[in-house]
A and B are shown apart, each in its own frame.
Chain A
Amino acid sequence: SSELTQDPAVSVALGQTVRITCQGDSLRSYYASWYQQKPGQAPVLVIYGKNNRPSGIPDRFSGSSSGNTASLTITGAQAEDEADYYCNSRDSSEVVFGGGTKLTVL
C-alpha cells in the first residue's frame, strides 16, 4: 500500500516563511492535497491540485511538487496558522494520508 511521510513537527517565527514537505512514491504520478486541522476541529482543505486554493484560503498558502516530494509553503506565517497539517494523495486504487506535521508559530 502507498505511504506518505511528513516531518512530525516544524516551527517558524511569526511573519517568516515555512515549508512543510510530504514524500511518497504516489506523488510522482498524483498531486497532493493539503489539510489544516486545529484542535477540536475537522480538517480544512487548503491546497489541491498543482497549486489551487479553495475559496477563503489566504494566498500565503501555496503548494508545489517535485519528483516524489510535495510541499506546502506558508509565506508570512501568522499566529492563526499554528495547526496540524496533513498531506493526502492517492494511487490507482486507494487514498492515503501522511502522518501529519505540527506547525508551531513562534
Chain B
Amino acid sequence: QITLKESGPTLVKPTQTLTLTCTFSGFSLSTSGVGVGWIRQPPGKALEWLALIYWNDDKRYSPSLKSRLTITKDTSKNQVVLTMTNMDPVDTATYYCAHRDLGLDAFDIWGQGTMVTVSS
C-alpha cells in the first residue's frame, strides 16, 4: 500500500524560504519509472503542478516557478524535499505530494496535503 505524507511549517513570512518534506512508504524511488511530484492549491482555486523528480534523478519544474524551486530526493529515507524561495502571500496554499508512475503517466496516489500560510 502506497502512502505519502507532507510535512513542514504551517506559517512562513514573506521573503522566507519554504522547505517541505514528503515522506512515503510502499514504493522505492530507486525503482525504474517511479516519480514523486508536488502540486499546490490556493484556497478556492485550481491545482497547480510545481515539480517532479524521477527515480533516475531527472527533475522537472513548472516554467513559471522554476527559478524559485528545488526538488531533491533521499532514497534511503524515502523522502522528497521541495524548497521554494522568496515566499509571498500569493503562495498561500495547500501543498500536496503525489506518486507518479511513467507507465500510468498520472499521479495515482496523493498525500493528504499540508496548508502553508504566508504572512508577516
Q: CB within 8 Å of B: which residues of A? A: 1, 30-31, 33, 35, 37, 42-45, 48-49, 52, 54, 86, 88, 90, 93-100
Contact = CB atoms under 8 A, between A and B. Distances in A.
B55 interface: no
Contacts, number: 62
Which of A31, A49, A94 is packed against the most chain B CB atoms within 10 Å?
A: A94
* Main SS class of interface, B: strand
B64 A1 contact: yes
Nearest to A86: B47
B37 A94 contact: no
B108 A48 contact: yes
A12 to B, nearest CB: 21
A48 B99 CA distance: 14
Contacts of B64: 1
B26 interface: no
Interface string B95-120: 01000000011111111110000000
Given A49-B105, A95-B37, A1 B46 contact: no
Contacts of A54: 108
Given A93-B60, A95-B52, A30 B105 contact: yes
Nearest to A37: B47
Nearest to A30: B105
11 contacts: A31-B105, A42-B113, A43-B47, A45-B108, A48-B108, A86-B47, A88-B106, A95-B49, A96-B49, A97-B46, A100-B47
